[in-house]
């Protein structure tokens, strides 16, 4: 029995999470797993109604859960930054989810905008540090609103935070067939913070002699991800660069409709989510693509070490993508509703006897 906190969030969040839970329930039935879903209504609507974003008591409850399944956060009526910091980043930081794991995998049947590249060329993972860098919220204003205004925003890198992230990436790379790890940084300019990354990377590398080490400056990495995505196997990078390159990665793998991610604390409570946002204009229309959320559910199963259930979900989703069921991955253009796609994944999971 797994206890899963569910934060459906704003906009299309409830619709996609509903399909995700539907798929997880059935995968659970097939594999003798039970899920207790504990719903939380945190998000823009609740904030506007009550002023509350995420009370500490809820964080403590979620800490006791096996995982968190998150829909989407972002509300047109709430100023940028409030929900991001108060909900999403607060969860990542409080639960010390220090890895943001984002597979960039082009599934069969999905179109990449990159000419001449196919599924064999696009299959890598970005390991994004998830608790430090420019995301730490250190900074301030001086003489705000005047012509003499000064604003500072500091990037914090700690040895501990850098090392645990790099170690996670080496561990992951050492278990993949290609065993290649690319450090993506801007050490030619960030000569303090990313010098720490460089030194830490070289030290940790000594513990992983089977992993081939590689390096790319982040600007060049953006270029190579488009020009030669087949060069990458695992990329490790800081929080901000990871944020940016994984949106690029999502496009390379065929769009936000299929991009999923995990916020991982290897010894705590991790959180799984689609990378796309709350897409307010599609709210309640049953037109949004739930595939990214369903794949986030499969990542969650992997993390819970329920590999059989994870493959059941992923394989059924791959079938949906590769066997031409969807006209397009974009919202409103799938030729199917959100709930139809969820039903289809369930149907393609078969009856549990491999049929
Ligand atoms: C992401 C998002 C968040 C981030 C935002 C919503 C704070 O873009 O998960 O990539 O910047 O990490
Ligand atoms: Mn992002």
Name the residue with the closest Cα to ligand 1, atom 7: 84
- Best residue among 237, 243, 256 to mutate for probing ligand 1's pocket (most ligand atoms within 8 Å of CB) is 243
Q: What 3-state class would DSSP assign to 121?
A: coil
Strand partners, 6: 39, 69
Question: Is 243 close to ligand 1, i.e. is its CB under 6 Å away?
Answer: yes
* Tokens representing residue 41 in the block: 């209504």
Q: What DSSP element (H or E) covers 3?
A: strand 2-9
Q: Where are the domains of the chain?
A: 1-96+261-355, 112-253
- Best residue among 7, 79, 80, 84 to mutate for probing ligand 1's pocket (most ligand atoms within 8 Å of CB) is 84
Q: Which ligand is nearest to the CA of 238?
A: 1
What local confidence, expressed as pLDDT, does residue 351 receive? 79
Tell me the three-class secondary structure of 33-62, residue by residue: CCEEEEEECCCHHHHHHHCCCCCHHHHHHH
Q: Which ligand is nearest to the CA of 91?
A: 1
In sequence order, which ranges of the chain are alpha helices (DSSP H)?
13-30, 44-50, 56-63, 82-83, 90-94, 159-175, 193-205, 218-227, 239-252, 291-303, 307-322, 338-348
Q: β-strand 99-105 against 260-264: which pairing, if any?
A: antiparallel
Ligand 1 nearest-atom number relative to CA 84 = 7
Ligand 1 nearest-atom number relative to CA 92 = 12
Phi, psi values for residue 187, rounded to 5°: -70, -10
* Gap from CA of 30 to ligand 2 centroid (Å): 34
**Predicted confidence pLDDT, tens digits, the chain (355 residues):** 999 999 999 999 999 999 999 999 999 999 999 999 999 999 999 999 999 999 999 999 999 999 999 999 999 999 999 999 999 999 999 999 999 999 999 999 999 999 999 999 999 999 999 999 999 999 999 999 999 999 999 999 999 999 999 999 999 999 999 999 999 999 999 999 999 999 999 999 999 999 999 999 999 999 999 999 999 999 999 999 999 999 999 999 999 999 999 999 999 999 999 999 999 999 999 999 999 999 999 999 999 999 999 999 999 999 999 999 999 999 999 999 999 999 999 999 987 655 5
Q: Which CATH class is domain 1-96+261-355?
A: alpha beta
% helix, strand, coil for the chain, step of 5? 40, 20, 35
Name the residue with the closest Cα to ligand 1, atom 12: 243
Name the residue with the closest Cα to ligand 1, atom 4: 243
Ligand 1 nearest-atom number relative to CA 73 = 6
Question: Is 88 close to ligand 1, i.e. is its CB under 6 Å away?
Answer: yes
* Tokens representing residue 296 in the block: 């986030």
Phi, psi values for residue 351, rounded to 5°: -100, 10
Place of tokens 């604390």: 265
Question: Is 126 close to ligand 1, i.e. is its CB under 6 Å away?
Answer: no
* Gap from CA of 265 to ligand 2 centroid (Å): 19
* Gap from CA of 240 to ligand 2 centroid (Å): 9
What local confidence, expressed as pLDDT, does residue 352 receive? 60
Decide if 1-96+261-355 and 112-253 have a common fold. Answer: yes
* Tokens representing residue 284 in the block: 């309640």
* Gap from CA of 297 to ligand 2 centroid (Å): 19
* Gap from CA of 215 to ligand 1 centroid (Å): 24
Question: Is 84 close to ligand 1, i.e. is its CB under 6 Å away?
Answer: yes
Predicted TM-score (pTM) of the model is: 0.96
CA distance 255 to 4: 27
Q: Which ligand is nearest to the CA of 85?
A: 1
- Residues labelled as active-site residues: 135, 186, 219, 243, 247
Q: Between 3.40.718.10, 3.40.50.170, 3.40.50.2300, 2.30.130.10, what CATH number should domain 112-253 receive?
A: 3.40.718.10
* Gap from CA of 62 to ligand 1 centroid (Å): 20
């Amino acid at each position: 029995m797994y206890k899963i906190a569910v934060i459906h969030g704003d906009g299309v969040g409830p619709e996609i999470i509903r399909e995700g839970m539907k798929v997880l329930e059935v995968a659970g039935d097939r594999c003798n797993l039970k899920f207790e879903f504990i719903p939380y209504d945190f998000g823009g609507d609740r904030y506007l109604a009550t002023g509350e974003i995420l009370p500490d008591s809820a964080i403590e409850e979620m800490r006791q859960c096996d995982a968190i399944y998150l829909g989407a956060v972002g509300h047109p009526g709430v100023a940028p930054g409030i929900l991001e910091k108060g909900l999403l980043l607060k969860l990542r930081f409080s639960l010390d989810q220090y890895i943001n794991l984002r597979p960039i995998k082009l599934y069969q049947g999905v179109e990449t905008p990159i000419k001449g590249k196919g599924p064999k060329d696009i299959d890598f993972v970005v390991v994004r540090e998830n608790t430090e860098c420019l995301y730490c919220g250190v900074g301030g204003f001086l003489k705000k609103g005047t012509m003499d205004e000064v604003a500072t925003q500091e990037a914090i890198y700690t040895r501990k935070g850098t090392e645990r992230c790099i170690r996670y990436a080496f561990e992951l790379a050492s278990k993949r067939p290609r065993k290649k790890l690319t450090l993506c940084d801007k050490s030619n300019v960030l000569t303090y913070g990313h010098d720490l990354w460089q030194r830490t990377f070289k030290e940790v590398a000594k513990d992983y002699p089977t992993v081939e080490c590689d390096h790319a400056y982040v600007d060049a990495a953006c270029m190579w991800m488009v020009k030669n995505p087949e060069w990458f196997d695992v990329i490790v990078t800081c929080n901000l660069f990871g944020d940016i390159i994984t949106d690029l990665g999502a496009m390379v793998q065929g769009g936000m409709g299929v991009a999923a991610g995990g916020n991982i604390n290897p010894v705590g409570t991790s959180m799984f989510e689609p990378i796309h946002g709350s897409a307010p204009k599609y709210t309640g229309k049953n037109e949004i693509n739930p595939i990214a959320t369903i794949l986030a559910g499969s990542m969650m199963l992997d993390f819970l070490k329920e590999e059989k259930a994870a493959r059941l979900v992923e394989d059924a989703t791959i079938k949906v993508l590769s066997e031409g069921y969807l006209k397009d991955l974009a919202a409103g253009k799938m030729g199917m509703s959100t709930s139809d796609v969820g039903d289809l994944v369930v149907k393609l999971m078969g009856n549990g006897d491999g049929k």
